Amino acid sequence: MTSKPESNLISVSQLSEEIRHCRACEEHLDPNPVVRLSSQAKLLIIGQAPGTKVHATGIPWNDPSGDRLRSWLGLNREQFYDTRQIAIMPMGFCYPGKGKSGDLPPRKECAELWHGKALRLMPNVATTLLIGQYAQQAYLHAPGKTLSENVSNWQQYFPQYIPLPHPSPRNQLWLKQRPWFEADLVPQIRRFVHQLLEPSLPQG
């Protein structure tokens, strides 16, 4: 006797459509969820939340932070946005608004509502980049550890996770004070990412 398919299973495209229509935070912000899910992706990028330019364009990491992240990974835009290889799912899917010193933290509703469902539909993800403190706090389960400690000890979470600082221009001082990150860690992480994604990485 053949088993019936589970009625609660949906496709990545169906879940993506549900997320695009999510209005859970409508009373707090102007919703425009930005996320790129993929059932084929080997690499998942979890960052914070869209900034103003990403909010306006609907394209994740479409800003100076994204330019720096692509530089760290050694990927051009075509490679970075190839959903056959890379999925992008921030902690907060919508721009959270402006605070006293930069953008507000990502709202918690997104991860609570959607992350579990999305991860179950992306079984091929081998490694997740956790960019910034919010993603690391959610996934590393390392209470009391600073972002610098997480990043410098990245190999203890590898290969499931790779913690990274946020590539925002506001983090220039952090990078300047820790030259070991771009000098030593970035080349190692770049080599691994290319090994993970090749040979099907689009050539650019």
pLDDT single digits (tens) 17-63: 999 999 999 999 999 999 999 999 999 999 999 999 999 999 999 99
Beta carbons of 91 and 110 less than 8 angstroms apart: yes
Q: Which pLDDT score, from 0 to 100, does residue 202 have? A: 64
Domain contains 2? no
Count of domains observed in the chain: 1
Is residue 130 helix, strand or coil? strand
Low-confidence residues in the chain, pLDDT < 70: 1-9, 199-204
Q: Which pLDDT score, from 0 to 100, does residue 186 have? A: 98
Q: How far apart are CA 30 and CA 189, in angstroms?
A: 35
Domain contains 6? no
Peptide bond into 199 cis (omega under 30): yes
Domain contains 3? no
Domain contains 5? no
Q: Which pLDDT score, from 0 to 100, does residue 100 have? A: 80
Q: What global pTM score does this model have?
A: 0.92
Give the C-alpha distances (Å, rounded to integers) separating 157 from 43, 48, 64, 128, 139: 15, 19, 27, 10, 10
Beta carbons of 132 and 174 less than 8 angstroms apart: no
151: left (phi over 0), alpha (psi -120 to 50) or beta: alpha
Domain contains 89? yes
> Residue 45: which CATH number?
3.40.470.10
Domain contains 4? no
What residues make up the domain containing 57?
A: 12-197
Pairing verdict, β 127-131 and 98-99: unpaired
Q: Which pLDDT score, from 0 to 100, does residue 88 have? A: 98
Chain centroid, CA 58 distance in Å: 15
Domain contains 1? no
Q: How far apart are CA 51 and CA 34, in angstroms?
A: 10
Domain contains 7? no
